[in-house]
Structure 1
Amino acid sequence: MHLRTAACAALLIAATATACSDSKPAVHHYGSAQKIADTLEAHGLTVSMLHKDTSSSYISDVGGTAYDFTVTDKTGQPAAGDSGINMFPNAKALTTWTGLSQSMGGVAVTGDTWAVSLPTGSKAARADSKRLAPTVAKALGGEVQD
């Protein structure tokens, strides 16, 4: 009887710990923008070559790096516009950028210290980015920010 009671108690503790734990999935870390692009391609998305973007002043001012590229899931059709991969030096810089992006109507997928910023230059581009963002998030293990 004592073993059964102990087993029930262990199950109750495990169930309580699971119910109380943060259900948010862990975000993946990527050490380079190229690794992000490669991962998107490995998940069936069409990705163009990366081009370093030196005009993203906030990102470079905080010690990060930005790259322009395109990404789409529509084979044979052009992307809705240019996207970006932003590599930040820390989570605080990413959090600040995310707030700025959201305040300007941006659509992005973020991780621990990286972001994929999707095009929003027109209503059609924004709609396509909102549709594509969950696919990008799933491929990269990130979170949609819009």
Structure 2
Amino acid sequence: MRTTVTAAIAGAIGVVLGATGWALLGPEKTAPADERAAPAAATASAVDKTTARHYADAQAVADALDAAGFTVSMLHKQSGDSYITEIGGTAYDFTVTDKKAPAPGDSGINTFPNADALSSWASMSKSLGGIAVTGDTWAVSLTTADEAARADSRRIAPKIAEALGGTVQS
């Protein structure tokens, strides 16, 4: 029992430290794409497995955002262990915005081995105050580095959900 609790605490600390480190050291260059607004999508409390689109990998999610008119940066695979890698998923850092101004901070695209792993992650993310858009086995985890970034993430999340066929988690 103590090993399980220790592993859970270490995983949570690792996620927080990784996000903090990336917020301080992440890339700030973005590749411009055409600016285009997408209709808003409703916020939901659970992963909607029936309507979410499937994307083969994180690059496919980034490409779909780019095609929908968002400005996205190159993906950078996170190194080191985290909750996501421990459950068999993959985490990438990038920036995303719907305007030509720089993104307010670094976001992430996470892929998961199955919907249950994604659902567990989404619950944990929401409990820590995260803002994300989720699909069948993928998530776009938006920046919450400060209040301005959090406000921008709340504004952009429904547009990302509409473009990707996902669900806002916050």
Shorter chain as denominator, the TM-score bin is: 0.7 to 0.9
Identical residues among aligned pairs (%): 64
Q: CA RMSD in A?
A: 1.1
Count of residue correspondences: 122
Q: 1:65 aligns with which of 79, 85, 90?
A: 90
Using a 3 Å threshold, how does the CA distance of structure 1 residues 65 and 26 change in structure 2: closer, same or farther? Answer: same
TM-score by length of 1: 0.81
Q: Contact (CA 8 Å) 1:54, 1:60: kept in 2 or not?
A: no
TM-score by length of 2: 0.70
Does residue 29 (structure 1) correspond to residue 50 (structure 2)? The answer is no
Q: What is the aligned partner in structure 2 of residue 87 from structure 1?
A: 111
Structure 1 runs, 4 residues or longer, greater than 6 Å off: none
Report the Cα distance in structure 1 between the residues aligned to 2:81 and 2:103, rounded to whole angstroms: 21
Report the Cα distance in structure 2 between the residues aligned to 1:46 and 1:57, rounded to whole angstroms: 27
SS of equivalent to 2:85: helix
Residues 33-44 of structure 1 aligned to structure 2 (within 5 Å):
33-44=58-69
Where structure 2 has 5 or more consecutive residues not aligned to the other structure, the ranges are: 1-47
Where structure 1 has 5 or more consecutive residues not aligned to the other structure, the ranges are: 1-23
Paired amino acid for 2:165: G
Q: What is the aligned partner in structure 2 of residue 110 from structure 1?
A: 134
Larger radius of gyration: 1
Report the Cα distance in structure 1 between the residues aligned to 2:60 and 2:81, rounded to whole angstroms: 20
Q: 1:46 aligns with which of 50, 61, 71?
A: 71
Q: Contact (CA 8 Å) 1:56, 1:66: kept in 2 or not?
A: no
SS of equivalent to 1:41: helix
